[in-house]
Amino acid sequence: MVVDDSVVIRSLVTHALEQDPLLQVVGTASNGAIALKRIPQLNPDVITLDIEMPEMDGLETLRHVHRDYPSTRVVMFSTLTERGVAVTLEALSLGADDYVTKASNEGSMERSLERLRGELVPKIRQFFRIGGSEKKEAHLPAPTDHGTSTLASRLSGAQAPASLLRPPPKLKMRPRAVLIGVSTGGPNALSAILPSLPAHFPLPVLLVQHMPPLFTRLLSERLNASCRLPVAEATQGELVGPGKILIAPGDFHMKLVPGGDGVRICLDQAPPLNSCRPAVDALFSSAGEAYAGSVIAVVLTGMGQDGLRGAEILKARGAYILAQDQETSVVWGMPGAIASAGLADRILPLDQVIPEILSAAGLA
């Protein structure tokens, strides 16, 4: 169901979605109050939800949907403004599953449709297992109810082989940095675990979250307010020091470059990797050289397989690699790729990731 106060946007989104043979738009609504009345009649699997609407806005609608229809997935439509981004991050914390941004000037209707097909359709598909090949007769099974702690009913991918759950090997070298890669579900996952890092944590934490500009800055500000370690967007040429968390800024790859005075940040706008910029692969691959593999690399919830190639490089140099497990991931694409490739030393529930990092760093 498409919920937006603009008739043009409702029409555009409907047209873009219905060009995909696996998706059907069962209805639309011009505000949240109307949407809530129609949900019991239409039983949508997914709702696209605008933020700014009359009578009942997106956040209030989201609260009702999350409470009354917990199995319904919600994708927010966000504007690239300070307020729009801040409200979107708030929506994610309230239970929205993902978001897409509204571009102010697409130039043409066809370009707008192309962008929606390229961004919105994959974000809807990521929440479902698709039976068989992606042909017209394939279908999206309706998601089942899930509690706030168990999300396995709506996750993609297969469970990790039992052999990957073996006890971890001894670390070959003392870690010098922690690297984290995350995408869909990332803001909530990061908010849940990073405040657990102690103020005396001795290693730098370098983080790639798939987000556009402005989103990464506001995310870093939100995390900085809740963490005992300082959190900020990384800057060009910045010296990587212990006890701080640096986030790759939107639309820039964050790479690590060794030098005489230590490791420094290099930001660039090289072509996207895995359709992402920033990309986890860019950070992981550069860390293999900068730290000679003496890192703890963590891959959390996210769509796709960004980080896989970088993890292969790190693993070959002796890095210690952790992957979030399927049950606690919103989408088990990125960590699932690491697990399936046999690169994960440990596959862990989200709440065990920080304890494992502290243990590997010699603090527990």
Pull the structure tokens for residue 202: 């001795």
Known catalytic residue at 97 = no
Query: How many angstroms from the chain centroid is the CA of residue 219?
Result: 12
CA pair distance 49, 12, nearest whole angstrom = 14
CA pair distance 293, 62, nearest whole angstrom = 43
The residue annotated as part of the active site, out of 78, 97, 210, 340, is 210
Burial class for 73, CB neighbours closer than 10 Å (0-12, 13-18, 19+) = buried
Distances from the Cα of 183 to the Cα of 2, 3, 166, 169, angstroms: 24, 24, 26, 28
Distances from the Cα of 16 to the Cα of 23, 183, 208, 221, angstroms: 10, 23, 29, 34
Contact 239, 260 (CB under 8 A): no
The residue annotated as part of the active site, out of 4, 98, 281, 306, is 306
CB-based burial, 318-346: b 16+ in 10 Å, e otherwise: ebbbbbbbbebbbbbbbbbbbbbbebbbb
Best CA proximity match to 187, nearest among 98, 295, 287, 310: 98
296 SS3 class: strand
C-alpha Rg value of the chain to the nearest Å? 21
CA pair distance 284, 322, nearest whole angstrom = 13
Contact 202, 174 (CB under 8 A): no
CA pair distance 50, 18, nearest whole angstrom = 19
Known catalytic residue at 251 = no
Any idea what DSSP says for residue 352?
Answer: G
The residue annotated as part of the active site, out of 112, 156, 183, 220, is 183
Known catalytic residue at 210 = yes
CA pair distance 47, 123, nearest whole angstrom = 12
Active-site residue set? 183, 210, 306
